[in-house]
């Protein structure tokens, strides 16, 4: 392997690694920003559903008896095809109303977990609660009765796969686009290494040739002072050895 | 080409290769980042619109309901307040307004009301030349027009102003991370290429020069052990072959002469010829020639850099990671438990340091380094998987033990290989690698933790340590076992510690700086920044500022201190800068004041520590003569490490007792008081002495 190949490969490896890092950082940031935006959008929907439901129980009705609740959930659910379901839970985490075919079957968490979510949402300072797991983006808002006591919890489950798909598209597009600068950078790095290291390699090759030439009996004196001094001493040693060998053979 | 004169040429070539490659790589990354920005904006714009439309639909619903109930939209009482509420809490939204079907603005959120009336006229005009349906660009905002209908007719139009700077703001965050990545990549590229050029070009040239110099002096005993094959090593191999042939011929001759001598056939003339040969030339054993290579300082540069890079990755988020695993218990406070592993780290490191020296003496540098790197890699990987503080402490101790062995071995290796010449420059290999690794590791570690999580970041750290192990195996020639160095008597250390003036100087000058470094910068800073809402990446960026200040200031400080003899003044300025930095940090909240304060602390570190050791011999000339400079410096180092150990624990105790602000005030004010004490001490020492001090042994 030549110097050009070794150093070129190292530089190209650093280049590829750095580009991969840039792609990864951008992807991670895009994914985070997209998630934030989506959560913020779902928050609008959750607060809308909460306000509408609170209006429905404003006259003192118990939450399970709110007649418009189902309509509200259906309307909210229809606002985005990737909403897996919208449910209204009571404080024990039991589903009171639901919209979306998979609302109960695919609703994440057990009733006990959802009861904990209810408590967390009731204590949330900004009036909404959110959580992200591997399958869904969950955004909720507590429903307050006319005495401002939390009596229920609107929960929107958004399909995480939709977000992952968007982020995936971004990653693929960016990775494809990044191939161009990578290819250009790679070519330039190779050209630079060739330009800088090839002459160095050639000079080393010339030195190698000089040293190989010294093995023969007749050769031109090396141009370099150090090599010439070495050559002279080497030839001296070689001749001294030859003389000793001859005298030993004569015995 | 002269191998002797090629040192200068190859250094120039090294810089050319390193800098030009770095520039090319950075340019490529900038091009990729520009593309990313465009794609980022294009990809997020539909989501911003979708969010605004969702909000518009929910707001429109209220107007629609009012209209359905027969309330004219021109007579809605609290509509302005409702729009205010609706716009609040959406950082990408600037305003919401409701206009009549004729285009007259009826209700508006607070932000829209503050604008001149002509603004809404321009909004209407902009919609005349709108770029996409219902969306018009205007004065840094995108105005979304959403019709509101009731009973089949349009009763008005909602206007939502989307902040066009929202995406740019998000991009600014990623741009900062990318800038850090570019900076780190540039540093890594320079480190890697310098090390590779040193290994592939400079080292063979040096060996060739040594071989030629020895040969010119008639010494043909040494041979290069070649492992890498390229133009440079082939040239070296060709020269080495000449030497090998001579040695083989000489060995054959000696053997034949021995046989002839045993047979009584060796004449005196031949004996004389052989003796003359032996007098003029030295030949080696062709089967086991002496090595031409000598261990060099530069051999360690790349593996050490990668190892320290991996070890430093967790610097910016370490206290946050420990805090996450903390479970309240009856005995210890949270701040104490968060600080404890940092002190355990220093303790384990100090305890394992002698092991590095012993391994280096008995097994050679390669084994000693690997013996430290293996536990470090395991420790880092398992630290990331810890599920309790007990596990975390255990793996931290294992990692620190390995760290102690590696750093001790590296320092001893550097000290041994730089005995004759260029001592300071050789020590720069260690200092350069560790500071570059601190800067890179702190910044990238924060970004990685922010993006891929703590566990995965520790996995990356362990991977880097494994890579450094591979590099040690490939690149570091084994120094081989050596005689153990002369053991320093403990009595000398005790003797130094008994000297009040030495101890007082160490306590005033050396220990406070370490206390601030570990207690404030490593422990309190990440906790405080996290409390202020900074992400791990932002914490890493800020902390990196401190390391950069130290790195940039150190050479300037040492130059000025040496040239003008400002050692004492620099130490005092360093103490003052550190103290002020901590005090400023206590009251700062915005990014810039916080950055300024950590820069002051970093500058203080450089000012206080750089001239410290240089000021020891003139201040304690008597002790240097009596106990030896080495023993004196060793005591300095030990007490400094006590400061490192105590720093986090002291900070934790103050934090638990009085909260962050008072804790930082106490540390900053304490630093200033100790610096004043140091000034008084130095002043008193500068006065002519009237009573002789007790004699050193």
Is A25 within 8 Å of B4 when comparing Cβ atoms?
Answer: no
Residue A244: list chain B partners with CB under 8 A.
253, 270, 273-274, 277
Among B28, B33, B50, select the one facing A184 at the smallest CB separation.
Answer: B28
Average pLDDT of span B606-621:
76
User: Do A251 and B13 make contact, defined as CB atoms within 8 angstroms?
Assistant: no
The CATH number of whichever domain residue A111 belongs to comes to: 3.30.450.20
Residue the block writes with tokens 């959120």 = B109
Tell me how close the Cα of A26 comes to any Cα of chain B, in angstroms. Answer: 7
pLDDT at B401: 92
Topology (CATH level 3) of domain B296-485? Growth Hormone; Chain: A; (1.20.1250)
Interface membership of B191 toward A (CB under 8 Å):
no
Is B480 in a helix, a strand, or coil?
Answer: coil
Task: Tell me if A144 is assigned to some domain.
Answer: yes
Q: Do domains B296-485 and B489-697 have the same CATH topology?
A: yes
- Comparing A96-110, B9-23, B249-263, the range with the smallest average pLDDT is A96-110
pLDDT at B427: 58
pLDDT digits (tens, 9 = 90+) for B122-138: 887 777 765 556 777 77
Residues A89 and A27 in one domain: yes
Confidence of residue A103 (pLDDT cuts 50, 70, 90): very low
Going by C-alpha positions, the residue among A124, A133, A80 that lies closest to residue A106 is: A133
Distance CA B118, CA B15 (A): 61
Mean pLDDT of chain B: 79
Give B209 or B484, the one with higher predicted confidence.
Answer: B209
Residue pair B396/B318 in contact (Cβ under 8 Å)? The answer is: no
Residue B625, min C-alpha distance to chain A (Å): 45
Quick check: is A187 in a domain? no
CB atoms A208 and B215 under 8 Å: no
Are residues A239 and A121 both part of a single domain? no
Question: Hey, is the C-beta of A99 within 8 angstroms of any chain B C-beta?
Answer: no
- Residue A12 near chain B (CB below 8 Å): no
At B426, the pLDDT band (50, 70, 90 cuts) reads low
Average pLDDT value for residue range A160-184: 87
Q: What value does the mean pLDDT take over residues B49-57?
A: 81
Asked, for residue A238, whether it belongs to a domain, the answer is yes
**C-beta separation of A156 from A130 below 8 A:** no
In a domain, A207, yes or no: no
Q: Searching chain A, which residue's CA lies closest to the CA of residue B56?
A: A44
Does A204 contact B231 at a Cβ distance shorter than 8 Å? yes
For chain B, say whether A178 makes contact (Cβ under 8 Å): yes
- Chain A nearest-CA distance from B673, in A, is 43
Q: What is the mean pLDDT of residues B83-91?
A: 77
d(CA B532, CA B542): 13
**H helix or E strand, kind and range, residue B337:** helix B334-363
B360 shares contact with chain A (CB less than 8 Å): no
- Do A246 and A154 lie in one domain? The reply is no
Whether A177 is in a domain gets the answer no
Give the bridge partners for B150, in sequence order: B153
pTM of the model: 0.69
DSSP assignment string, A68-104: THHHHHHHHHTT-TTEEEEEEEETTS-EEEEESTTTT
Indicate yes or no: CB of B178 within 8 angstroms of CB of A25.
yes
Q: Do B51 and A196 touch (CB under 8 A)?
A: no
Please answer yes or no on whether A37 and B274 come within 8 Å at the CB atom: no
pLDDT at position B478 over 80: no
CATH number for B44-170 (one of 3.30.450.20, 3.60.15.10, 3.30.540.10, 3.40.640.10): it is 3.30.450.20
- Residue ranges making up the domain that contains A232: 220-251
Interchain contact B58–A (C-beta under 8 A) = yes
Using CB atoms and an 8 Å cut-off, which of residues 82-141 of chain B contact chain A?
89-90, 92
Beta-strand relationship, B141-150 and A150-159: unpaired
Best probe of the A interface among B3, B19, B25, by most A CBs < 10 A, is B25
A202 in any annotated domain: no
In a mutagenesis test of the B interface, which of A71, A171, A248 is the best target, namely the one with the most B β-carbons within 10 Å?
A248
Same domain, A224 and A118: no
Q: How far apart, in whole angstroms, are the C-alpha atoms of residue A163 and residue B39?
A: 16
The pLDDT assigned to B224 comes to: 74
Cβ count within 10 A of residue B95: 24
Confidence class for position B4, pLDDT limits 50, 70, 90: very low
**Distance of alpha carbon A221 from alpha carbon A214, whole angstroms:** 9
Q: Rounded distance, CA B368 to CA A143, Å?
A: 65
Q: What pLDDT sits at residue B206?
A: 81
Q: Do A247 and B33 touch (CB under 8 A)?
A: no
Q: CA-based diameter of chain A, in Å?
A: 130
- Asked if A22 and B209 come within 8 Å (Cβ–Cβ), the reply is no
Is the confidence at residue B521, as pLDDT, over 90? no
The domain spans of chain B are 44-170, 218-293, 296-485, 489-697
Domain boundary among A106, A132, A167: A167
The verdict on A30 and A96 lying in the same domain is: yes
> What pLDDT shows up at residue A176?
87
| Contacts for B60 with CB less than 8 Å, ≥ 6 apart | B146, B148, B158
Indicate whether A142 and A225 sit together in one domain: no
Q: Is the pLDDT of residue A113 over 70?
A: yes
To the nearest whole Å, the CA of B247 is away from the closest chain A CA by 10
CB contact A182 to B (< 8 Å) = yes
Angle at A205 between CA A204 and CA A209, to 5 degrees: 120
Residue A155 counted as domain residue? yes
Give A248→chain B minimum CA distance, Å: 6
A108 touches B: beta carbon within 8 Å? no
Among the candidates A130, A146, A167, a domain finishes at A167
- Within-domain flag for A196: no
Q: What is the mean pLDDT of residues A115-129?
A: 79
The answer to whether B535 contacts chain A (CB < 8 Å) is no
What ipTM, to 2 d.p.? 0.75
Q: How far is CA B556 from CA A29, B356, B565, B570, in A?
A: 38, 32, 13, 11
| Record: contact A30-B16, CB cut-off 8 A | no
Nearest chain B alpha carbon to A128: B89
Helix (H) or strand (E) holding B14: helix B6-68
Which of 557-616 (B) contact A at CB < 8 A?
none
Beta strands across the sheet bearing A83-90: A95-99, A83-90, A150-159, A136-144, A129-132
As for how many domains chain A has, the answer is 2
The CATH T-level fold of domain B489-697 is Growth Hormone; Chain: A; (1.20.1250)
B566: Cβ contacts below 8 Å, ≥ 6 apart: B560, B611
Q: Are residues A231 and A159 in the same domain?
A: no
pLDDT digits (tens, 9 = 90+) for B628-664: 766 777 777 777 778 888 888 888 888 888 888 888 8
Contact A196 B2 (CB under 8 A): no
Let me know whether A25 and A129 are in one domain. yes
**pLDDT-above-70 percentage for chain B:** 87
In this complex, the residue of B27, B178, B250 whose CB is nearest that of residue A241 is B250
Across the range B468-496, mean pLDDT stands at 69
Geometric angle at alpha carbon A37, from A36 and A41, rounded to 5° = 115
Say how many C-beta atoms besides its own lie within 10 A of residue B204's C-beta: 25
Q: And the tokens for B573?
A: 């300025």
Task: Select from A1, A26, A38 the residue whose CB has the most chain B CBs within 10 Å, as the one to mutate to test that interface.
Answer: A26
Query: Quick check: B430 pLDDT over 70?
Result: no
Whether B48 and chain A come into contact, CB under 8 Å, resolves to: yes
A45 has a chain B CB within 8 A of its CB: yes
The minimal CB distance from B51 to the residues A24, A40, A180 is found for A40
How far is the C-alpha of B460 from the C-alpha of B124, rounded, in Å?
54
Q: Which of B166, B211, B216 is the mutation pick for testing A, counting most A CBs within 10 A?
A: B216
Is B582 a residue whose pLDDT tops 80? Answer: yes
Predicted pLDDT at B7: 47
Q: Find chain B residues with C-beta within 8 A of A230's C-beta.
A: 211-212, 215-216, 239
User: Cβ separation of A18 and B181 shorter than 8 Å?
Assistant: yes
What's the alpha-carbon Rg for chain B, to the nearest Å? Answer: 35
Q: What would the two tokens of residue B615 be?
A: 């000021």
Q: Are residues A163 and A233 in the same domain?
A: no
């Amino acid at each position: 392997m030549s110097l050009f190949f070794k150093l070129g490969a190292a530089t190209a490896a650093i280049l590829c690694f750095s580009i991969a890092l840039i792609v990864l950082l951008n992807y991670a940031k895009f994914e985070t920003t997209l998630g934030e935006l989506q959560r913020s959008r779902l928050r609008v929907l959750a607060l809308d559903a909460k306000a509408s439901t609170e209006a429905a129980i404003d006259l003192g009705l118990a939450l399970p008896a709110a007649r418009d609740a189902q309509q509200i959930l259906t309307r909210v659910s229809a606002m985005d095809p990737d909403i897996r379901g919208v449910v209204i839970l009571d404080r024990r985490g039991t589903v009171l109303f639901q919209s979306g075919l998979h609302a109960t079957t695919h609703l994440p968490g057990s009733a006990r977990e959802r009861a904990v979510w209810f408590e967390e949402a009731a204590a949330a300072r900004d009036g909404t609660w959110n959580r992200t797991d591997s399958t869904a983006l969950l955004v909720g808002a507590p429903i307050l009765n006319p005495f401002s006591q939390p009596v229920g919890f609107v929960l929107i489950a958004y399909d995480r796969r939709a977000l992952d798909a968007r982020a995936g598209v971004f990653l693929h597009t960016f990775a494809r686009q990044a191939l161009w600068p990578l290819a250009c950078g790679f070519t330039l790095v190779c050209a630079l290494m060739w330009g800088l290291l090839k002459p160095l390699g050639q000079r080393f090759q010339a030195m190698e040739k000089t040293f190989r030439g010294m093995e023969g009996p007749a050769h031109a004196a090396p141009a370099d002072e150090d090599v010439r001094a070495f050559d002279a001493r080497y030839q001296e040693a070689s001749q001294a050895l030859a003389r000793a060998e001859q005298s030993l053979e004569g015995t | 080409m002269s191998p002797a004169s090629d040192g200068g040429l190859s250094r120039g070539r090294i810089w050319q290769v390193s800098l030009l490659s770095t520039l090319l790589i950075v340019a490529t990354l900038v091009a990729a980042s520009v593309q990313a920005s465009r794609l980022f904006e294009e990809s997020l714009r539909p989501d911003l619109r979708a969010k605004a439309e969702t909000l518009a639909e929910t707001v429109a619903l209220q107007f629609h309901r009012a209209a359905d109930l027969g309330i004219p939209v021109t007579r809605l009482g609290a509509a302005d307040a409702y729009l205010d509420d609706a716009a609040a809490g959406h950082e990408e939204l600037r305003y919401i307004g409701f206009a009549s079907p004729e285009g007259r603005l009826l209700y508006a959120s607070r932000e829209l009301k503050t604008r001149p009336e002509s603004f809404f006229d321009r909004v209407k005009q902009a919609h005349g030349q709108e770029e996409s349906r219902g969306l018009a660009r205007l004065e840094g905002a995108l105005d979304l027009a959403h019709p509101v209908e009731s009973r089949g007719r349009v009763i008005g139009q909602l206007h939502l102003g989307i902040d066009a700077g929202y995406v740019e703001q998000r991009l600014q965050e990623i741009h900062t991370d990318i800038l850090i990545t570019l900076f780190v990549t540039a540093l890594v590229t320079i480190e890697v290429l310098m090390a590779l050029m040193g290994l592939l070009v400079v080292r063979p040239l040096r060996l060739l020069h040594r071989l030629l110099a020895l040969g010119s002096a008639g010494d043909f005993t040494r041979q290069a052990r070649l492992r890498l094959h390229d133009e440079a090593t082939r040239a070296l191999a060709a020269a080495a072959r000449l030497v090998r042939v001579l040695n083989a011929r000489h060995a054959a001759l000696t053997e034949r002469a021995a046989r002839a001598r045993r047979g009584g056939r060796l004449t005196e003339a031949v004996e004389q010829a052989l003796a003359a040969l032996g007098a003029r030339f030295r030949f080696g054993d062709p089967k086991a020639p002496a090595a031409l290579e000598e261990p060099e300082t530069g051999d360690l540069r790349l593996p050490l850099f990668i190892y320290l890079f991996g070890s430093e990755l967790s610097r910016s988020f370490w206290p946050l990671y420990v805090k996450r695993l903390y479970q309240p218990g009856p005995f210890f406070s949270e701040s104490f438990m968060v600080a404890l592993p940092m002190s355990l780290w220093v303790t384990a490191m100090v305890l394992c340091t002698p092991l590095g020296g012993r391994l280096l003496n008995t097994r050679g540098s390669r084994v000693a380094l690997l013996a430290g790197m293996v536990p470090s890699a395991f420790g880092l990987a398992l630290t990331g998987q810890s599920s309790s503080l007990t596990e975390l402490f255990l793996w931290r101790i294992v990692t620190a033990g390995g760290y102690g062995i590696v750093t001790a071995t590296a320092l001893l290796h550097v000290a041994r290989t730089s005995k004759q010449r260029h001592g300071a420059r050789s020590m720069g290999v260690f200092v350069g690698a560790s500071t570059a690794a601190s800067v890179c590791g702190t910044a990238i570690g924060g970004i990685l933790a922010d993006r891929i999580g703590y566990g995965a970041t520790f996995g990356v750290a362990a991977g880097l340590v494994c890579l450094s192990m591979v590099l040690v195996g490939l690149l570091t020639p084994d120094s081989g076992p050596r005689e153990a160095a002369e053991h320093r008597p403990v009595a000398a250390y005790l003797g130094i510690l008994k000297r009040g003036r030495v101890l007082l100087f160490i306590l005033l000058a050396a220990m406070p700086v370490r206390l601030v470094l570990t207690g404030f910068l490593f422990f309190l800073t990440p906790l405080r920044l996290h409390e202020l809402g900074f992400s791990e990446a932002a914490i890493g960026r800020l902390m990196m500022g401190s390391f950069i200040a130290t790195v940039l200031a150190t050479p300037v400080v040492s130059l000025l201190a040496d040239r003008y003899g400002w050692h004492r003044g620099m130490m005092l300025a360093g103490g003052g800068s550190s103290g002020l930095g901590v005090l400023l940090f206590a009251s700062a909240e915005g990014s810039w004041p916080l950055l300024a304060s950590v820069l002051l602390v970093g500058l203080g570190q450089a000012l206080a520590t750089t001239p410290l050791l240089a000021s020891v011999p003139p201040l304690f000339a008597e002790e240097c003569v009596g106990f030896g400079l080495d023993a004196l410096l060793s005591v300095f180092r030990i007490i400094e490490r006590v400061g490192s150990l105590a720093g986090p624990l002291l900070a934790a105790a103050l934090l638990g007792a009085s909260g962050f602000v008072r804790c930082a005030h106490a540390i900053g004010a304490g630093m200033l008081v100790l610096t004043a004490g140091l000034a008084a001490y130095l002043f008193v020492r500068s006065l002519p002495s009237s009573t002789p001090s007790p004699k050193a042994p």
